[in-house]
């Protein structure tokens, strides 16, 4: 979750400060629709599955309300907490039925908590003796982290502290249990670091921050086994590149960024910048996905980015968004906003079907049509992670700083923002972004002391000349892709900015070291990555397509895939390249042209696999 | 050296048996010319350098004839022995002056030998106590191996056993010193294995074979330090891929093949076949060179085959020829003959300048013009290795077996071959191969019992339909590239075979995993790999060339580069691809056509760097 500060302290080492989730009302055709779907479809469905799979019964049996065996996997409590966090954020829109469900669930959780504050439904009764005995594997601190995050969200949106009391009792037990002079330990799956820092922000209790620091710095000395998979192979500060389990690695980076924001521990920021740079230049998919290996759900080595066999777990994409969000808050650098936006549209959004009922756990960039979203998973980390991300999305649109307002994400919305000095500013953002590059921002309310800055993000993808008009005056300064443009002036009510970000269809090529993309291109328009899906070209082997020209028309089609811009153009078809068997060199066999011009349709990658099963490719010969 | 059996026993586990060096008289325009040059230029020059650099004085000071300090590197004796082996093979052509030089040198060596048979000029006087103390580094057994090989060559061509007596005394000391029940040890640089097996073949003394087996099987248990560089990281029989120092790895394979030929130890053959397959499909340059890393002169990992920074040591190519020769003798499979021939022309031959005066130690496949052959090296392994290879080359042209005669290399020659049963056959081979694909073989003498087979190699490169005519009858069976065609019949004097191997210019592409060759092609015609050299296209950046067509004329030009077939055709030129800085993905920037048709000249790769210094490329965009 983004560090959603409302009535809490500000992070002293972050240049930007987050806004409140209630400050922004989205009204766009992607995120607002998903938020609505989250409330009407996703949250009710996921709650039902949590009941039917025993995830909530596990709490009831822990409290003695029912007699049964624990059902499911040892970390299933976290799914309930993630659902609860999502529901809590969703309650910015009042909903009596959801409130009742949440309150009842909190009662079940409260009843399951031990007298000492311990809370994990797997380690009850005969398993109680095993508590804290296997931190490497058993996820107790991981689950605690999700409980804490849910509690903070619930308190912030409802002002009710029932869940917060539970979370703090458990957090206090954890602080009393683990430490350099107490029991050594840290969790095999990072997560609690972010939660404890946010609990510090929410309560002002420094021991939570110190506990997060302890858990981070305890890594790398083998106390949980020393595996790269668990981020225990080296001290975090010595890391030069992300490695091991992708979600673990990225959650840890997000937690370290949180710790830096509060402590100013520069070595942490240097490590984060080093591994970030390495990740975006060596170990990221073109959709922003991270993690190439099924084995160990691991980040691969440099340039190891296979398309069909790629992993790209949805949770890793969410984790990358969380990390980049924090880096953006720390620095105010557009580099991080670019990765965050790109990952949201092209690696998080594909994780849920257009109707909100099924989910991708892994996200390959090429498939034969057999990879389809599922309603749920035995290891169900991704579905409620998507739910809490969708529910908290308005918070990612803006930040504030002493200078003024930072506009990160373009999407139709009304915002009422409060600067750190208390001045209130209202903005109306009107746009059809990401489908169209024109964005109008009107100052709907301006404080008496009216001199402040608007920081407009100029996306890195906007290589074709962004333009800005302010009240019909053309802005003549430079608009540099990948940076924020600061416009500082004495603003008047009704001032109007029109930012235009041209969106030609761009062919993307990848670094020559990504072997299988050699001679291939991907299509991107604005922030949206495209793919071709067999549904749209039923009689063509996608591997024979060659993008010899870039003649695409890009039109919004309201009836296609719930409304997207579809690219329609042409391609040639060639003979398939022959497979390489046991040969290192062979006589060159040029591909033979089959047809010079066949119609080609490309759809947003996030929308693939929402129609009949069919092959899909992101990279095409070109 | 090839196991050149004359009056010695036959290897029981080899399908083929080698001929005598004296059986073949080459009269072609490449190898015969080099043999002549070897006698007139290379051997005299190299002897002079061995004198001027103190390599021979080291023997004189070891015997006490002169007072001086040891000069040069600790393994320099091996250069003298390799020269002596080359000179010994060259003495198949009587030469009184060379005979005198050889005899005098043998006297110097004899005088330097210790009473116990020990012989290494570095470990004399105050260094005598260090003998056998550091087998990992100090090359004593390696030098001994080269002494033994020189002695065998000398005895075979001169029937004089002066050097053989020295070698056997040292070999006997080695056998008495090392073993499982004696001093444990094996050399950091394999070489003695081949020498001891050949000494067994020459003498019939089984202890030499057993000593070679001991040295092979002692590896992999850390008794010389356990390094991959020294082939001590694992038992040879467990190896799945060549690794470590290229020459060490390949010499060891050649030695293991020798041991298999005598023992039938099937595990050795299985290992050899496994690593051979891995090498040719993962770790070989398009010219047959092996070894991609300067660091540790090492074989790289799979598909790690950089062109400009490639190592491709000339000695490694020679070692590959020796290994493939032995595999060919064992199996009679054309697979090995193809690699052997290809490596000879394209990886060994480039090692010496056309005038025979300068040498390449490393052989990159792309260069800016700064890489030039040198007259000598401080570590001078390559020059005398080339000399002994050139001197022994006639022995690689044919083999015999109980079925008949095997024709491996096509080159104009007269041969008088003896089958294992004693029948004598004379063949006249007339051809302009490798420049022209027509080969005529006439039976110039046929034994009374005249039924036997001729095995004609159909090279793997001959993909365009080899044809055979026997006495004006077209052979109607299948001629399968990469195999030997057996023609068995009752041969008559004057029978004539005309084999035609079409030689179109072929564009070669490489496995997609060899990253930097992606989208590039190399040119090959017949067995000869080509390159382009700036000398022939002075005003063109070679990296802008694109082989859009294959319109080459291939004509023999007697005045060019001492007489080669030059390819003359056309290419387009494009803008240079932009360098990839810190980007993983970027907007596709297609190369822009500059000129559609510029003249292009390609020359044999072996002949590059024989004119003014200029850039060279084997792989061109295409």
ipTM of predicted assembly, 2 dp: 0.86
Domain identity same for A416 and A387 = no
Tally of CB atoms within 10 A around B579: 6
**pLDDT tens, position by position, B42-92:** 999 999 999 999 999 999 999 999 999 999 999 999 999 999 999 999 999
Tell if the CB–CB gap between A584 and B509 is shorter than 8 Å.
Answer: no
Any domain includes B6? no
DSSP class of residue B261?
Answer: H
Any domain includes A12? no
**pLDDT tens, position by position, B530-576:** 999 999 999 899 999 999 889 999 999 999 999 999 999 999 999 88
Name the residue in chain A with its Cα closest to that of B549: A590
Domain identity same for A176 and A90 = yes
Q: Which member of B281, B583, B587 has the closest CB to residue A583? A: B281
Enumerate the H helices of B113-160 as residue ranges.
Answer: 135-138, 140-158
Domain identity same for A562 and A465 = no
**pLDDT tens, position by position, A194-245:** 999 999 999 999 999 999 999 999 999 999 999 999 999 999 999 999 999 9
Domain identity same for B578 and B437 = no
- Statement: residue A1 has pLDDT above 80: no
B438-445 and B496-500 beta bridge pairing:
antiparallel
Tell if the CB–CB gap between B508 and A587 is shorter than 8 Å.
Answer: yes
Q: Return left, alpha or beta for A478; rule: phi > 0 is left, psi -120 to 50 is alpha, else beta.
A: beta
Any domain includes A1? no
- Statement: residue A7 has pLDDT above 80: no
Contact predicate B370/B613, CB 8 Å: yes
- pLDDT tier at A6, thresholds 50, 70, 90: very low
Contact predicate B166/B112, CB 8 Å: no
**pLDDT tens, position by position, B86-142:** 999 999 999 999 999 999 999 999 999 999 999 999 999 999 999 999 999 999 999
Tally of CB atoms within 10 A around A12: 9
- pLDDT tier at B579, thresholds 50, 70, 90: confident
Asked if omega into A434 is within 30° of 0 (cis), the reply is yes
CA nearest B219: which of B132, B136, B130? B136
- Statement: residue B622 has pLDDT above 90: no
Residues of A in contact with B588 (CB under 8 A): 506-509, 521, 622
Residue B67's contacts (CB-CB under 8 Å, 6 or more residues apart) are B61
Name the residue in chain A with its Cα closest to that of B280: A584
DSSP class per residue in A530-570: EEEEGGGSTTS-GGGEE------EEEEETTSTTSEEEEEEE
What span, in angstroms and rounded, lies between the C-alpha atoms of B495 and B561?
36
- pLDDT tier at A8, thresholds 50, 70, 90: low
What span, in angstroms and rounded, lies between the C-alpha atoms of B232 and B51?
35
Q: Which residues of B83-118 are buried (b: 16+ CB within 10 A; e: fewer)?
A: bbbbbbbbbbeebeebeebbeebbebbbebbbeebb
- Statement: residue B590 has pLDDT above 90: no
Tell if the CB–CB gap between B281 and A584 is shorter than 8 Å.
Answer: yes
Q: Domain ends where: B479, B500, B521? A: B500
Any domain includes B56? yes
What span, in angstroms and rounded, lies between the C-alpha atoms of A122 and A128?
8
Tell me if residue B253 falls in helix, strand or coil.
Answer: helix
Q: Which helix (H) or strand (E) holds A429?
A: strand A424-431
Name the residue in chain A with its Cα closest to that of B282: A584
**pTM across the whole model:** 0.82
What local confidence, expressed as pLDDT, does residue B9 receive?
61
Q: Which member of B284, B509, B514 has the closest CB to residue A588? A: B509
Query: Rounded to a whole number, what is the distance in angstroms from the first to the last CA of chain A?
Result: 39
- pLDDT tier at A558, thresholds 50, 70, 90: very high
Any domain includes B4? no
- B497: distance to nearest CA of chain A, Å? 28
> Tokens 């000395």 belong to which residue?
A221
Tell if the CB–CB gap between B585 and A511 is shorter than 8 Å.
Answer: yes
* Interface contacts A/B by beta carbons within 8 Å: 82
Q: Domain ends where: A466, A500, A534? A: A500
What span, in angstroms and rounded, lies between the C-alpha atoms of A122 and B40?
87
Burial grade of A477 (CB within 10 A; 0-12, 13-18, 19 or more): exposed
- pLDDT tier at B10, thresholds 50, 70, 90: confident
Any domain includes A2? no
Domain identity same for B615 and B525 = yes
What local confidence, expressed as pLDDT, does residue A512 receive?
84
Domain identity same for B563 and B494 = no
Any domain includes B11? no
How many domains is chain A partitioned into structurally?
A: 3
Residues of B in contact with A506 (CB under 8 A): 587-588
Tell if the CB–CB gap between A281 and B518 is shorter than 8 Å.
Answer: no
Count helices and strands (H / E) in chain A: 15, 25
The average pLDDT across B394-416 equals 97
Tell if the CB–CB gap between B506 and A583 is shorter than 8 Å.
Answer: no
**pLDDT tens, position by position, B449-501:** 999 999 999 999 999 899 999 999 999 999 999 999 999 999 999 999 999 99
- Any idea which of A281-290, A517-526, B582-591 has the lowest mean pLDDT? B582-591
Tell if the CB–CB gap between A587 and B515 is shorter than 8 Å.
Answer: no
Establish whether A297 is a catalytic residue: yes
Any domain includes B9? no
Tell if the CB–CB gap between A587 and B512 is shorter than 8 Å.
Answer: no
Domain containing residue B87? 17-396
The average pLDDT across B519-530 equals 96
Tell if the CB–CB gap between A508 and B585 is shorter than 8 Å.
Answer: yes
Q: Residues B526, B529, B535, B540: is their CA dihedral positive or negative?
A: positive
Mean pLDDT of chain B: 95
Establish whether A273 is a catalytic residue: no
> Tokens 């954020």 belong to which residue?
A89
B564-574 and B545-546 beta bridge pairing:
antiparallel
Domain identity same for A186 and A227 = yes
- B25: distance to nearest CA of chain A, Å? 34
- B597: distance to nearest CA of chain A, Å? 19
Contact predicate A487/A456, CB 8 Å: yes
What span, in angstroms and rounded, lies between the C-alpha atoms of A286 and B584?
8
Pick the catalytic residue from A191, A198, A297, A533: A297
CA nearest B58: which of B147, B115, B123? B123
Residues of B in contact with A281 (CB under 8 A): 582-584
What angle do the packed helices A206-217 and A192-203 form, to 10 degrees? 160
> Tokens 């409060």 belong to which residue?
A418
Q: How many residues does chain A have?
A: 622
Contact predicate A588/A508, CB 8 Å: no
Domain identity same for A608 and A517 = yes
Residue B55 backbone phi and psi in degrees, to 5:
-60, -35
CATH number for position B467: 2.60.40
Q: Which member of B521, B583, B584 has the closest CB to residue A588? A: B521
Q: How many residues does chain B have?
A: 622
Q: Domain ends where: B369, B396, B423? A: B396
Q: Which helix (H) or strand (E) holds B177?
A: helix B162-177
Query: Rounded to a whole number, what is the distance in angstroms from the first to the last CA of chain B?
Result: 39
As given in the structure block, the two tokens for residue A291 are: 């993690």
Tally of CB atoms within 10 A around A293: 17
Domain identity same for B462 and B319 = no
What span, in angstroms and rounded, lies between the C-alpha atoms of A620 and A381?
32
Name the residue in chain A with its Cα closest to that of B283: A584
- B468: distance to nearest CA of chain A, Å? 23
Interface test with A, best of B525, B530, B587 (most A CBs within 10 A): B587
Domain identity same for B180 and B289 = yes
Q: Which member of A463, A519, A589 has the closest CB to residue B587? A: A463
Beta-bridge mates of residue B244: B299
Domain identity same for B496 and B616 = no
DSSP class per residue in B197-232: HHHHHHH--HHHHHHHHHHHHTTTSSTT---GGGT-
Active site residue ranges of B: 297, 381
What span, in angstroms and rounded, lies between the C-alpha atoms of B351 and B315?
9
Domain identity same for B381 and B410 = no
CA nearest B508: which of B367, B602, B609, B616? B602
Tell if the CB–CB gap between A582 and B277 is shorter than 8 Å.
Answer: yes
DSSP class of residue B308?
Answer: T
What local confidence, expressed as pLDDT, does residue A591 receive?
81
As given in the structure block, the two tokens for residue A119 are: 């809370």
Mean pLDDT of chain A: 95
**pLDDT tens, position by position, A138-182:** 999 999 999 999 999 999 999 999 999 999 999 999 999 999 999
Contact predicate B81/B167, CB 8 Å: no
What span, in angstroms and rounded, lies between the C-alpha atoms of B391 and B83?
10
């Amino acid at each position: 979750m983004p560090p959603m500060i409302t009535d809490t302290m500000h992070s002293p080492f972050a240049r930007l400060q987050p806004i409140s989730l209630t400050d922004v009302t989205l009204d766009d055709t992607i995120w607002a629709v998903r938020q609505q779907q989250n409330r009407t479809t996703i949250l009710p469905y996921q709650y039902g599955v949590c009941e039917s799979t025993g995830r909530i019964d596990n709490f009831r049996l822990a409290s003695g309300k029912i007699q049964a065996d624990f059902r499911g996997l040892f970390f299933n409590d976290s799914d309930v907490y993630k659902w609860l966090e999502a529901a809590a954020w969703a309650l910015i829109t009042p909903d009596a039925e959801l409130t009742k469900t949440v309150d009842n669930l909190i009662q079940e959780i409260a009843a399951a908590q031990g007298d000492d504050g311990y809370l994990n439904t797997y380690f009850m009764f005969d398993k109680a003796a095993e508590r804290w005995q296997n931190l490497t594997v058993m996820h107790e601190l991981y689950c605690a982290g999700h409980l804490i995050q849910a509690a903070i969200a619930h308190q912030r949106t409802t002002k009710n502290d029932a869940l917060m009391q539970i979370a703090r009792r458990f957090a206090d037990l954890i602080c009393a249990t683990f430490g350099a002079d107490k029991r050594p330990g840290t969790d095999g799956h990072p997560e609690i670091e972010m939660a404890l820092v946010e609990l510090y922000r929410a309560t002002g209790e420094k021991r939570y921050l110190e506990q997060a620091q302890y858990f981070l710095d305890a890594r790398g000395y083998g106390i949980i086994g020393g595996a790269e998979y668990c981020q225990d192979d080296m001290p975090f500060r010595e890391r030069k590149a992300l490695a091991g389990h992708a979600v673990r690695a990225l959650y840890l980076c997000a937690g370290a960024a949180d710790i830096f924001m509060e402590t100013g521990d520069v070595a942490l920021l240097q490590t984060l910048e080093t591994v970030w740079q390495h990740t975006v230049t060596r170990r990221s998919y073109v959709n922003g996905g991270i993690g190439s290996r099924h084995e160990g759900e691991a980040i691969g080595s440099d340039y190891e980015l296979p398309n069909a066999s790629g992993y790209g777990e949805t949770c890793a994409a969410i984790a990358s968004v969380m990390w980049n969000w924090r880096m953006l808050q720390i620095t105010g650098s557009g580099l991080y906003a670019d990765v965050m936006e790109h990952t949201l549209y092209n690696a998080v959004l594909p994780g849920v079907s257009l109707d909100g009922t099924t989910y991708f756990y892994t996200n390959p960039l090429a498939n034969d049509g057999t990879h389809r979203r599922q309603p749920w998973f035995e290891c169900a980390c991704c579905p409620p992670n998507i739910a809490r991300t969708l529910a908290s999305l308005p918070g990612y649109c803006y930040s504030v700083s002493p200078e003024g307002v930072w506009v990160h994400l373009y999407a139709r919305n009304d915002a009422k923002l409060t600067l750190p000095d208390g001045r209130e500013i209202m903005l109306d953002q009107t746009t059809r972004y990401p489908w169209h590059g024109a964005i109008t921002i009107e100052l709907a309310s301006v404080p008496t002391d009216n001199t402040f800055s608007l920081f407009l993000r100029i996306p890195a993808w906007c290589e074709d000349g962004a333009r800005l008009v302010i009240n019909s005056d053309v802005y003549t300064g430079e608009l540099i892709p990948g940076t924020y443009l600061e416009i500082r002036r004495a603003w008047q009510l009704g001032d109007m900015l029109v930012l235009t970000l041209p969106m030609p269809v761009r062919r993307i090529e990848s670094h020559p070291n990504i072997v299988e993309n050699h001679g291939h291109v991907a299509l991107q328009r604005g922030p949206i990555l495209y793919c071709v899906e067999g549904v749209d070209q039923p009689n063509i082997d996608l591997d024979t397509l060659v993008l010899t020209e870039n003649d695409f028309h890009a039109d919004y089609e309201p009836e296609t895939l719930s409304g997207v811009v579809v690219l329609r153009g042409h391609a040639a078809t060639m003979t398939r390249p022959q497979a390489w068997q046991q040969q290192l060199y062979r006589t060159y066999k040029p591909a033979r042209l089959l047809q010079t011009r066949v119609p080609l349709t490309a759809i947003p990658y996030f929308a693939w696999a929402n129609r009949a099963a069919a092959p899909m490719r992101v990279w095409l010969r070109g």
